[in-house]
Amino acid sequence: MTQPSEPHRHPELKRVLGIWSAAAIVVGTVIGSAIFIVPGGMVKNVGSPLMVVMVFVVAGILTLFGALSYAELAAAMPEAGGEYVYLREAYGPLFGFIYGWTQMWVAKSGSIATLATGFFYYLANFFPILDGVFYRLPLPLGPGGGPLELRYGQIFAMALIAALAWLNYFGVKLGGEVQVAVTIVKVALIAFIILAGLAFGHAHAPAPENPAPLTVAGFFAALVAALWAYDGWNNVSMVASEVRHPQLNLPRALIWGTTAVIAIYLLANAAYFHVLTAGEVGASPRVASEMMGRILGNPGAAAVSVAAMISIFAALNGSILTGSRVPYAAARDGLFFRAVGRVDVHYQTPAVSILALSGWAALLVLSGRYEQLFTYVIFASWILYGMTAAAVIVLRWKRPEMPRPYRTLGYPWVPGVFVLVAIVLILSTLFDSPRESLMGIGLIVLGLPFYFYWKNS
């Protein structure tokens, strides 16, 4: 990355995040609402509690393989932007731009919008007015081509995004400290839920189970759900330029954080299936609430809603903190709007990038179309994830002289397996959802004229 010639006029990001902040970004961003929900759909796909646990183990190992691969890249190139930097160095600026483009307009902004909306859904359990419709826009923009319904909760979700953008604007250290505090509370509450299920929950009576035969399609459907639950482990690499001693702390945060999430997920599923039968888990849209309601009644279900909101809050803060560094990195290379590459002289944060990403995410909340947009980009995102893991191998060949403070354990098999699984998921998505896959490619193609304009300007 080109360094500015006048640092007093062009302030840089500062390395103020320690190992605990970095690890909290991994754990806090990964664990959102999925672990409270997805086991129900997974047991329908694979038929038995044992297979659900096995799928979580497989997905966890794959995620750890990804973390081990990214650890080498993050330690070798501790710059803002994460995958943007790795793809740029391995394959050229076009692929870095494609990653930054999809993160800004759909993937990260859509994820932020989804998390904020999920927060208000849980909060509506206590304040039902949030789910009330205050206006219907008479345009075919809603589900099924109907009118777009605007809810009070959407305004709340937009305000929540704005509040966290404001917090992160005033310093990455402040944002990191909030991330640590909220992640500690989140893990403590999830530990309480796990303890309640395993220690105080009555084991369900033996129930006749008639699991559907396991199919390849069912296994991959469950695997996609589990990988979604693990998604976000890579976000700490986006703030690599603000982590102290990155050659040491980034690999530790990636590997330790991912391992901690795997353990939490396996224990949570053990608790669910200890109290509930497979049929009950499969029939419940909110598995954790169902289990806690069985143990403690309504207060238990309410406790899960509080835990889910705190969990989502941490994931939302982590997403804004890390995601804003991607368009910032592209802008610093001249491949995005130049203003987005500015660092605030007082707070040493990518202020314009934070405001731009958060503002667009807030609009996606209001539009009600963010879930469809996020579906469109899954196909393209997995192409880029696979290419990033492959960059470990490409850069070993292309730049053997590059200092590598951490080298991927199990190289080349670990990144190789991750890449192969990414290829299988890409082909599976293309086969199962050709329209969404092609739309994902379409979103990438839409950015190409902008790339060539900025590249030649």
pLDDT averaged per 10 residues in sequence order, the chain, 457 residues: 44 88 94 87 89 94 95 95 96 95 90 89 89 82 71 94 95 91 94 94 69 77 86 91 94 95 96 92 87 92 91 93 96 95 92 96 80 66 90 96 95 96 86 79 89 92
Where do the H-state alpha helices sit in 333-369? Answer: 351-367
Amino acid, res. 328: Y
Sign of CA dihedral 401, 406, 408, 410: positive
Query: Is 17 in contact with 176 (CB distance < 8 Å)?
Result: yes
At residue 209, the pLDDT reads 59
> What does the block give as tokens for 281?
């888990």
- Give the separation between CA 187 and CA 363, rounded to whole angstroms: 31
- Give the separation between CA 394 and CA 387, rounded to whole angstroms: 9
Residue with tokens 């490409």: 394
What does the DSSP assignment read for 245-293?
A: SHHHHHHHHHHHHHHHHHHHHHHHHHHHHHHS-HHHHHH-SSHHHHHHH
Angle formed by the axes of helices 246-275 and 287-296, nearest 10°:
60
CATH of domain 19-456: 1.20.1740.10
Sequence spans of domains, the chain: 19-456
- Give the separation between CA 73 and CA 81, rounded to whole angstroms: 12
At residue 433, the pLDDT reads 76
Question: Does the model's pTM come out above 0.75?
Answer: yes
Is-cis flag, bond preceding 412, omega within 30? yes
At 186, which helix (H) or strand (E)? helix 172-195
Sign of CA dihedral 88, 325, 177, 316: negative
At residue 8, the pLDDT reads 40
- Give the separation between CA 311 and CA 306, rounded to whole angstroms: 9
Sign of CA dihedral 340, 344, 350, 351: negative
Q: Distance between the two ends of the chain, CA-based, in angstroms? A: 17
